[in-house]
Chain A
Amino acid sequence: MTTTTPHAPSVKQLQSPKGRLTFLRPAAGFAAAAVALFAVAPLALSDFRLGLLAKYLCTAMVAVGICLAWGRGGLLTLGQGVFFGLGGYAMAMHLKIADAGPGQVPDFMQLYGTATELPWWWRPFANPVFALAATVLLPMAVAAILGSFVFRRRVKGAYFAILSQALAAAFAIWLVGQQATTGGTNGLTDIQGFFGYDLDDPVNQRMVYFVIAAVLLLLIALARQLIHSRYGELLVAVRDSEERVRFLGYDPANVKLVAYVVAAGMAGLAGALFVPAVGIISPALIGIVPSIELVIGAAVGGRASLVGAVLGAIAVAWARTALSEEFPAAWTYFQGLLFIVALAFLPGGLASLVGIVRRRRASRAPEGEAA
């Protein structure tokens, strides 16, 4: 099975021949993004809109990981919801315990009347340091275990996509089944505090937004660093010709594993920050459908381009809110169309339009000079 991926630029294209100042461009873009996130958005948006933006930025964090694993590594993971959920539940469990107060069990457990003390696997999450570490390390550990099984045996392409999707389905079904300890279909709701800060207070909500914006920028910087490193080159090489990389003496399984685990960690962090921003985590946010929706944004914006994936994720999440409130039916048709158009006719996503336009202009320019 050959997967032709006509999007990621090759090494040559990355080293732009025009001018020596090109290395400043990413820095300038980064600064512009920081200004937009930290100065413009908080001033321009109402508290409500800023809260929504915080939610979209969490989606964008997952997209950064998807850009790495899928766009660069060719690993179409349809199960990012699992890692998002692991991070989210780890955070929510701690916050629920903290809300309940010492010696008490969270409200939904009292409601079902069965539990008078915390289940054993809840107890470690009472410790804030453990819970915070778990939001990232737990998804990474799960990804490492699954990935090392799957990649070593050279399960790839569609097989990997379907397996990761099945994982998302199984995780959501399991969560729903464990009503007494996970809140079942409702999930963990009504989260009040965030490490001692009251989440009802708009000031604290802004603080959460700033944390999310900072983490997103950090993740983008990290991903950029990875993509432009020797490892990043290797990852693209594995995507395009796994066997050649194997013959050169590298183990493609390890290369893929790193991308998958890093993407999982990013999704976990996104899930963890989603919880204080929105106040809820539930199986409906992490099953098959939301897992695929996380992929849409990256696909529409451009899976291989960090900027494309991030902006695409934010734009699609925004369009969803804007359209689905007014016309829920129309949104679903629009979403389906987005998928079809972006993938069937523009596989590089909107980000590739820039390149297409630039190439057109470049090919036209000499003619213009001649005339």
Chain B
Amino acid sequence: MTVILGQMFTGVSIGAVLLLIALGLSLTFGQMNVINMAHGEFIMAGAYTTYVLQKSIAGAGLSLIVALPVAFLVSGALGALLEWLLIRRLYLRPLDTLLVTWGVSLMLQQLARDIFGAPNVQTRAPDVLTGNITVIGGDDPLTFASSRLFILGLAVAAVVALSLTLRLTPLGRRIRAVVQNRDLAEVSGISTGRVDRTAFFIGSGLAGIAGVALTLVGPIGPTMGTNVIIDAFLVIVVGGIGQLKGSVIVAFVLGVLQSVLEYSTTVSVAKVLVLVAIVAFLQWRPQGLYTVRTRSLV
């Protein structure tokens, strides 16, 4: 019994990581139709920010808390810069944004290699987050890693914050207006260019937060972005583009599926089976789990 619960928890925690890395993308890809392959490198930027802060600030706990807002700002600034330099020229050519930002991601990876060296580096987790929390004691104990619980909490907080921002704030209303009808938003006096850049800032900033979270579960290295970016895109595509709700559900379902398959087969076979499941799912719902109903033919 505890084995099953333990696997479920592993799945949920994989899902939380997936959700965190996909959340920023659901804003930039989903809302703005920009395929940002450099999103993985923004995650990497967040992770390296944590690493640098830990080197300069003594306590692991304090540096982690400071890292969250700083990583948000660093990655967000990178995103806004990218939007201003390149992406705003490419809004009508989504497939080209994919390749252009891939070029950016190559350069950022090399930059990280030149600054921090090619080998992976590691951060120290704060003492609070190193142990396990016993949920069921006794002969057959069930324990959860506290760092994983922290990531789960972070993911939930990020989703709540993003959806509240989109739903309640004036900025959120403007973003939704631009997504729904760019021309009409423009003639209503909304500066669509500025909204785009702000949305990109937030989406990329969320990548920075994901980067901080990833330092708790794995090493930090120049290629860490490439390793997670595909998973993040799959979450968005299966969830339905621009649908926060879909991303949340799909992240956790894929996480649990991955964990169950890994338990019964191997890591590599599990990856392949998850992909097969995704292709099969898209047969059933080609536009993802949740779709915006439109009258357009496409």
Contact = CB atoms under 8 A, between A and B. Distances in A.
Interface string B87-107: 001101111101110111111
Contacts of B99: 76, 292, 295-296, 299, 339, 343
Nearest to B280: A149
Interface string B191-234: 00000000000000000000000000000000000100010011
Contacts of A286: none
A166 B113 CA distance: 25
A178 interface: yes
A227 interface: no
A295 B100 CA distance: 12
A173 B272 contact: yes
A25 B149 CA distance: 68
A50 interface: no
Contacts of B168: none
Contacts of A338: 103
Contact of B269 (A158, A169, A177, A329): A177
B271 interface: yes
Interface residues of A, number: 49
A149 B94 contact: no
B275 A3 contact: no
B268 A176 contact: yes
Given A155-B282, A177-B268, A163 B103 contact: no
Nearest to A168: B230
Nearest to A247: B297
A149 B110 contact: no
A146 to B, nearest CB: 7
B235 to A, nearest CB: 11
A332 B272 contact: no
Main secondary structure, interface of B, reads helix
A170 interface: yes
A76 B95 contact: yes
B86 A166 contact: no
A150 B95 contact: no
Contacts of B20: none
Contacts of A149: 279, 283
B135 interface: no
Contact of A173 (B33, B95, B109, B271): B271
B279 A158 contact: no
B93 A3 contact: yes
A222 to B, nearest CB: 26
A304 to B, nearest CB: 13
A289 interface: yes
Contacts of B271: 169-170, 173-174
Contacts, number: 126
Main secondary structure, interface of A, reads helix
B160 to A, nearest CB: 27
A217 interface: no
B279 A146 contact: yes
Contacts of A163: 237, 278-279, 282
B140 interface: no
A243 B104 contact: no
A336 interface: yes
A339 B269 contact: no
Q: Most chain-A CB neighbours within 10 Å: which of B90, B93, B96, B99?
A: B99
Contacts of A173: 267-268, 271-272
Interface string B283-295: 1001000000000
A343 B298 contact: no
Interface string A1-26: 11110000000000000000000000
B43 to A, nearest CB: 16
Contacts of B297: 243
B114 to A, nearest CB: 6
Contacts of B86: 340, 344
A336 B104 contact: yes
A170 B234 CA distance: 12
A162 interface: yes
B188 interface: no
A76 B272 CA distance: 22
A165 B104 CA distance: 18
B23 interface: no
Interface in A320-337: 329, 332-333, 335-337
A360 interface: no
A166 B230 contact: yes
Q: Most chain-A CB neighbours within 10 Å: which of B89, B102, B110?
A: B102
Contacts of A230: none
Given A153-B283, A333-B110, A336-B104, A169 B230 contact: yes
A3 B237 contact: no
Contact of B95 (A3, A171, A243, A344): A3
Smallest CB-CB A-B distances: 6 pairs = A177-B268, A339-B103, A336-B107, A336-B106, A332-B110, A153-B286
Interface of A: 1-4, 74, 76, 146, 149-150, 153-155, 157-159, 161-163, 165-167, 169-171, 173-174, 176-178, 242-243, 288-289, 292, 295-296, 299, 329, 332-333, 335-340, 343-344, 347
6 contacts: A3-B94, A155-B286, A166-B275, A173-B271, A340-B104, A347-B96
